[in-house]
Chains A and B, each alone.
Chain A
Amino acid sequence: MHYSLLKKLLADTPHYVELRAQTNGQHFLSLSDGDLAENQESMNSGLSCRTFVSGGWGFASSGLQNEASAKALIAKATKNAEFMSTANGPTEFVLPKDTFSFERENVEKNKMSTKEQVEFLKDLHTHASQKYSDLKSIKFMIVFHQLEKSLANSFGSHASHVLPRTSLYMTFSIEVEGEVTSLSRYHGHNGRPGDALPKKEALHKDMEGLYEQVKQKSVGVHATAGTKEVILAPAVAGILAHEAIGHPTEADLVRSGSVAANYLGQKVGTDLVTMVDYAHSFEGEELPVPVYIDDEGVEAKDAVLIDKGVFKGYMNNRELSQFYNQAPTGNARAYDYSDEPLIRMRNTIINPGKSKLEEMIASIDDGYYFTQSSNGQADLTSEFMFGVTMGYEIKNGKLGRAIKDTTISGVAFDMLSTVDMVSDELEIHCTGFCGKKQRMIVSHGGPSIKCRLHVGGR
Chain B
Amino acid sequence: MNLETTLKSSLNLLKSKGADHSSIFCSHQAFDELVFENDSFTLLRSVDEYSADFSVIKDRKLGSYALNQLDEAQLESAGLKVLEIASSGKEDEAYAFAPNREHKTFSHGPNSADLDAMKNCIRDFVSRTKEEYPLIGLRSVTIKFNSTQVHFGNSEGATSEAKKSFYMMSALFNAREGKISSSMNYDFFAFTDFNIDFLSNEKFGKVFKDTSLHLKAEKLGKTVTGDAILSPQCLQTFLGFVLSHLGTSSLVAGTSRLKDKIGEKVGSELLNLESRPQDTLFANPNFLTSDGLETENISIFEKGRLKTYLVDLYGKNKLNLESASNFASRLYMPAGEKSLDEMVKEIDCGILIGRFSGGYPNANGDFSGIAKNSFYIEKGEIKQPLSETMISGNLFDLLKEIQEVSSDVYQNGTTHLPYVATKNITIS
A-to-B contact residues, CB < 8 Å:
32-33, 35-37, 39-46, 56-63, 76-77, 80-81, 83-84, 87-88, 114-115, 118, 136-137, 173, 179-182, 225-226, 252, 255-257, 259, 262, 338, 340, 374-375, 377, 379-381, 383, 385-387, 389, 404-407, 409-411, 454, 456-458
A262 touches B179 (CB 8 A): yes
Check if B85 is an interface residue, CB within 8 A of chain A: yes
Q: Whose C-beta in chain A lies nearest to the C-beta of B32?
A: A80
- A46-B68, A225-B426, A409-B370 known; A380+B46 contact, CB < 8 A: no
- Which residues in B have their C-beta under 8 angstroms from that of A375? 359-360
Complex CA gap A63/B253 in Å reads 38
Q: Taking the nearest CB of chain B, how far is it from the CB of A121, in angstroms?
A: 11
Q: Which of A44, A88, A407 contacts B358 (CB 8 A)?
A: A407
CB nearest neighbor in A for B82: A41
A to B CB contacts below 8 Å, 21 in the list: A36-B88, A39-B62, A39-B85, A39-B88, A43-B66, A43-B69, A57-B44, A59-B45, A60-B48, A62-B48, A84-B41, A225-B223, A256-B37, A380-B181, A380-B184, A381-B182, A383-B183, A387-B359, A405-B362, A405-B368, A406-B392
Contact partner, A41, options B37, B65, B254, B428, Cβ 8 Å: B65
Residues 34-78 of chain B, each 1 if its beta carbon lies under 8 Å from chain A, else 0: 000110111111111111000000000011111111000000000
A57 touches B43 (CB 8 A): yes
B360 contacts across to A, CB distance below 8 A = 374-375, 387
Is B295 among interface residues, defined by CB-CB distance under 8 A? no
Docked pose: A252 CA to B172 CA in angstroms? 13
Taking CB atoms, residues of chain A closer than 8 Å to B307 are none
Contact A255 B49 (CB under 8 A): no
Residue among B49, B172, B358, B392 making CB contact with A63, cutoff 8 Å: B49
The smallest C-beta distance from B180 to any residue of chain A, in angstroms, reads 10
How many angstroms from the CA of A59 to the CA of B67 in the assembled complex?
23
Whether A381 touches B392, Cβ cut-off 8 Å, given contacts A43-B67, A58-B44, A407-B369, is no
Q: Is B357 an interface residue (CB 8 A)?
A: yes
Query: Which residues of chain B are within 8 angstroms of A42 by Cβ–Cβ distance?
Result: 65-67
Given A43-B68, A225-B223, do A56 and B388 touch, yes or no (CB 8 Å)? no
Q: Say yes or no: B139 contacts A257, CB within 8 Å.
A: yes
Which residues of B274-309 are within 8 A (CB) of A? none
Contacts of A225 in B (CB 8 A): 223, 390, 392, 426, 428
Interfacial chain B residues near A77, Cβ < 8 Å: 46
Q: Is the CB of A226 within 8 A of B428?
A: yes
CB distance from A383 to the nearest CB of B (A): 6
Given the interface pairs A39-B89, A46-B49, A256-B38, the reply to whether A456 lies near B44 with Cβ below 8 Å is no
Bound: A42/B81 CA distance, A = 10
Q: Which of A41, A181, A383 contacts B362 (CB 8 A)?
A: A181
Q: Could you tell me the dominant secondary structure of chain A's interface residues?
A: strand
Q: How far is the CA of A377 from the CA of B360 in the complex (A)?
A: 13
Please tell me if B266 contacts chain A, counting CB pairs below 8 Å.
Answer: no
- Name the contact of A457 in the complex, choosing from B359, B370, B392 (C-beta under 8 A): B392
A45: B residues at CB distance < 8 A: 68-69
**How close is B364's CB to chain A, nearest CB, in angstroms?**
6
Q: Does B366 contact A (CB under 8 A)?
A: yes
Q: Can you list the 6 inter-chain pairs with the closest CB atoms, starting with the nearest?
A: A387-B359, A42-B66, A256-B139, A456-B368, A80-B44, A225-B428
Nearest residue (CB) in A for B77 is A43
B172 to chain A minimum Cβ distance, whole angstroms, is 7
- Is the pair B81, A41 in contact by a Cβ cutoff of 8 Å? yes
What CA separation (Å) do A321 and B37 show in the bound complex?
A: 17
Which residues from A are CB-within-8-Å of B87? Answer: 115
Contact B68 A44, beta carbon cutoff 8 Å:
yes
Taking the complex as formed, is B363 at the interface, i.e. its CB lies under 8 A from any CB of chain A? yes
Contact flags B371-414 to A (C-beta < 8 A → 1, else 0): 01000000000000001101110000000000000000000000
Contact A409 B363 (CB under 8 A): no
**A81 / chain B contacts, CB cutoff of 8 Å:** 44
Q: Are B369 and A387 in contact (CB under 8 A)?
A: yes
**Which residues from chain A contact B92 at a C-beta distance below 8 Å?**
35
Contact A84 B43 (CB under 8 A): yes
The answer to whether B362 and A404 touch across the interface, beta carbons within 8 angstroms, is yes
Q: In the complex the two chains form, is B45's CB within 8 Å of A340's CB? A: yes
- Measured CB to CB, the closest approach of chain A to B205, in angstroms, equals 21
Q: Within 8 Å of chain A (Cβ to Cβ): is B15?
A: no
> A105 CA to B255 CA in the complex, in Å?
44
Query: B392: which of A83, A454, A458 is its contact (CB, 8 Å)?
Result: A458
Contacts of B391 in A (CB 8 A): 456
Q: How far is the CA of A110 from the CA of B347 in the complex (A)?
A: 64
B69 to A63, Cβ gap below 8 A?
A: yes
Are the CB atoms of B38 and A407 closer together than 8 Å?
no
Contacts of A181 in B (CB 8 A): 362-363
With A61-B47, A84-B41 as given contacts, are A383 and B387 in contact (CB-CB < 8 Å)? yes
- Residues of B contacting A259 in the complex (Cβ-Cβ under 8 angstroms): 181
Shortest beta-carbon distance, B337 to chain A, in Å?
33
A232 → chain B closest CB, angstroms: 16
Task: Give B238 Cβ to nearest chain A Cβ, in Å.
Answer: 15
B84 at the interface (CB under 8 A from A): yes
Which residues of the partner chain B approach A338 to less than 8 Å between Cβ atoms? 47, 49
Question: Within 8 Å CB of B43, what residues of A?
Answer: 57-59, 84, 340
Collect the chain A residues with CB atoms within 8 Å of residue B49's CB: 46, 61-63, 338
B46 touches A80 (CB 8 A): yes
A431–B50 alpha-carbon span in the complex (Å): 29
* Binary interface encoding of chain B residues 345-363 relative to chain A, with 1 for a CB under 8 A from any of its CBs, else 0: 0000000000001111011
CB-CB < 8 A to A32: which residues of B? 253
Q: How far is B123's CA from A163's CA once the two chains are assembled, in angstroms?
A: 40
**Bound CA–CA A259/B176 (angstroms):** 11
Residues from chain A with Cβ under 8 Å of B47 in the complex:
60-62, 338
Smallest CB-CB separation from A118: which chain B residue? B88
Whether B183 and A379, one on each chain, are in contact in the complex, defined by CB atoms closer than 8 angstroms, is yes
Do A385 and B62 have beta carbons less than 8 Å apart?
A: no
Given A44-B67, A457-B426, 12 more A-B residue pairs with CB atoms under 8 Å apart are A36-B89, A39-B85, A39-B88, A40-B64, A46-B49, A46-B68, A58-B44, A77-B46, A255-B37, A381-B182, A387-B369, A457-B428
Residues of B within 8 A of A410 (CB): 388
Report B-chain residues with C-beta under 8 Å of the C-beta of A454.
388, 390, 428
Contact (A61, B46) CB under 8 Å given A36-B88, A41-B81, A457-B368: yes
With CB as the reference atom, state the residue of chain B lying closest to A116.
Answer: B88
Roughly how many angstroms separate A42 CA and B172 CA in the complex, as a whole number? Answer: 32
Report whether A405 and B359 are in contact in the complex, using a CB–CB cutoff of 8 Å.
Answer: yes
Q: Check B140 for interface membership: any CB of A closer than 8 A.
A: yes
Q: CA–CA, A458 to B363, complex, Å?
A: 18
CB of B203 within 8 Å of the partner chain: no
Q: Name the residue on B nearest A225 (C-beta).
A: B428
Are B181's CB and A456's CB within 8 A? Answer: no
For B390, the chain A residues whose CB sits under 8 A away are 225, 385, 407, 409, 454, 456
B residues 155-177 near A (Cβ < 8 Å) are 172, 174, 176
Minimum CB–CB distance for A455 against chain B, Å:
8
Q: Contact: B172 with A256, CB < 8 Å?
A: yes
From residue B258, how far is it (CB to closest CB) to chain A in Å? 14
B119 within 8 A of A: yes
Q: Which of A44, A81, A407 has the most CB of B within 10 A?
A: A407
B242 at the interface (CB under 8 A from A): no
- The answer, among A80, A87, A377, A407, for a CB contact under 8 Å with B368, is A407
B213 interface contact, C-beta 8 A: no
> Is B315 engaged at the interface, CB distance under 8 Å to the other chain?
no
| Complex contacts, A84 vs chain B, CB 8 Å | 41-44
**Which of A60, A252, A381, A386 interacts with B183 by CB under 8 Å?**
A381
